[in-house]
């Protein structure tokens, strides 16, 4: 595991209030609902939720598609402990998004909600997403996108001063980075929610080129921790 310093402790502490109903309803549920709508009736047999936090979206994905093998992945032990306590039947993996412990073409769908802006090397993470996603697979990334790159840079500089750097790309920059990693962007949609009306999250829906790999995989019971 990389990054064992202050940032991981920050997320371990954040996990203590992450599941508060008002936090989830106001901040995360609108984004999760947008991801589920975009995926449609059946996303694929193998689903990976990166930056899964306490597993709220991961569990919803498993409920919507009970025949899919759904895996939640996060680098915070505190977040994963709460996820595993709520849904012990799912698989939970502790790992860094920039160095995923999965084989090439292991998943049909990758989701990541309100996490990508924390990744210190976003291009490396996108390269890993492309590597572990099967041809024809779907990528759904949801996070705040700014109106312009200049604002992204200002917010990044301010977050570094505060000690927890994050980077919100503009919508155009997000599209460019995803396409540079080899994906084809299908759509970008703003998501309405009350917190952050001026800077709404955007769902970028992309696909890895190539024909889908048709596999039937049943969701395995138990969990694994890396």
In a domain, 213, yes or no: no
**pLDDT confidence of residue 106:** 97
Structural domain contains residue 226 = no
pLDDT in tens, the chain (226 residues): 444 444 666 656 655 556 666 565 667 789 999 999 999 876 668 999 999 999 999 999 999 889 899 999 999 898 899 999 999 999 999 999 999 999 999 999 999 999 999 999 999 999 999 999 999 999 999 999 999 999 999 999 998 998 889 999 999 999 999 999 999 999 999 998 877 678 899 999 999 998 876 554 333 333 333 3
Extract the tokens encoding 171.
């919508």
- Rounded alpha-carbon distances, angstroms, from residue 140 to 49, 98, 166: 10, 17, 19
Is residue 166 assigned to a domain?
yes
Q: For residue 223, tell me if it sits in a domain.
A: no
Beta carbons of 144 and 169 less than 8 angstroms apart: no
- Which residue range(s) make up the domain with 79? 6-97+104-207
Which CATH number is 165's domain given?
3.40.50.150
Is there a domain that residue 200 lies in?
Answer: yes
Gyration radius (Cα) of the chain, Å:
16
Report the DSSP pairing between strands 184-190 and 133-144: unpaired
Is residue 152 classed exposed, middle or buried when 0-12, 13-18 and 19+ CB atoms within 10 A define those classes? buried
pTM of the model: 0.84
In this prediction, residue 223 carries a pLDDT of 36
């Amino acid at each position: 595991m990389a990054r064992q310093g202050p940032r991981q402790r920050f997320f371990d502490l954040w996990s203590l209030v992450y599941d508060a109903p008002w936090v989830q309803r106001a901040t995360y549920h609108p984004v999760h609902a947008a991801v589920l709508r975009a995926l449609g009736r059946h996303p694929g047999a193998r689903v990976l939720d990166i930056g899964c936090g306490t597993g709220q979206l991961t569990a919803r994905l498993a409920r919507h598609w009970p025949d899919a093998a759904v895996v939640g992945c996060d680098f915070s032990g505190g977040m994963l402990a709460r996820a595993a306590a709520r849904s012990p039947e799912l698989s939970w993996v502790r790992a860094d998004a920039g160095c995923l412990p999965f084989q090439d073409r292991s998943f049909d769908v990758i989701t990541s909600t309100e996490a990508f802006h924390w990744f210190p090397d976003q291009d490396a993470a996108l390269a890993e997403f492309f590597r572990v996603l099967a041809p024809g697979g779907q990528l759904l990334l949801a996070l705040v996108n700014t109106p312009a790159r200049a604002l992204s840079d200002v917010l990044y500089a301010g977050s570094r001063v505060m000690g927890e750097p994050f980077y919100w790309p503009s919508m155009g920059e997000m599209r460019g980075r995803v396409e540079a990693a080899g994906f084809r962007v299908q759509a970008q949609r703003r998501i309405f929610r009350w917190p952050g009306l001026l800077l709404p999250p955007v769902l970028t829906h992309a696909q890895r080129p190539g024909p889908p790999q048709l596999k039937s995989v049943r969701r395995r019971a138990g969990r694994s921790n890396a």
